[in-house]
Amino acid sequence: MKTGSHLSIWFFTGLCLGVVGALIFATGIYEIMHPPVNKVVLFDLHANVWWGAILLVSGLFFGIHFSPANERKRMAGKSSSV
């Protein structure tokens, strides 16, 4: 949802996915360097690395595309075309 001068829901979504993705990705990298004693099933697939990366990239896309600065540009573009 876009609300003019207000922050978009998609920006909040991007913020959430980005932060959570970064934390999971960083944890996955740490686990590669320091493998845990009790491993989960299919540990060798390193799901936290690639899943964290997917969430991080998705978060960055939403966060940047719907950032307040880009929202203002879009609104300005709409106003000038009217």
Partner 1 sequence: MNLALLLLSPNRLVHLSGVDIVIIIFYFALVLGIGFYLKEQANTGEDFFMAGREMTAWVAGLAFLSANLGSLELMGWAGNSYKYGILAAHWYWIGAIPSMLFLALVMMPFYYVCKTHSVPGYLKLRFGEGAQAISSISFAFMTVLMSGINMYAMAVVMKVVLGWNMHFSIWVSAGTVAVYVALGGLRSAIFNEVLQFFLIWAGALLIPILGLIEAGGWNGLQAKILQNLTELNVPNPGSYTHLWSTLGNFNDNPMGINWAGIVFGLGAVIAMGYWTTDFLVVQRVLSAKDLRSAELAPIIGAAFKMCVPFIVILPGLLGLALLRDPQGHLLRLVPANLAWSPQGQAQGLHGYDEVLPLMLARYCGPGLLGLGITALIAGFMSGMAGNVSAFTTVWTYDIYGTLINKNATDDFKVKMGRWITVIGVIVSIFTAYIAAGAPSIMDYVQALFSFFIAPLFGTVLLGMLWKRATPAGGWTGLLAGTLSSIGMYTWVKIDPNAVRYVALSMDAQDQAQNMFRALWCCLICVIVTVVVSLMTKPKPDSELKDVVYGLTPIPKTEHASWFHSPIFWGAVVAIVFVILQIIFW
Establish if 64 lies at the interface with partner 1 (CB under 8 A).
no
DSSP sequence for 3-47: BTTBPPHHHHHHHHHHHHHHHHHHHHHHHHHS--SSPPTTGGG-H
22-41: which residues touch partner 1 (CB under 8 A)? 23-24, 26-28, 31, 36, 39-41
Establish if 6 lies at the interface with partner 1 (CB under 8 A).
yes
Q: Among residues 47, 40, 48, which one has the least CA distance to residue 23?
A: 48
Under the rule (CB under 8 A), what is the footprint of partner 1? 1-3, 6-7, 9, 12-13, 15-17, 19-20, 23-24, 26-28, 31, 36, 39-43, 45, 47-48, 51-52, 55
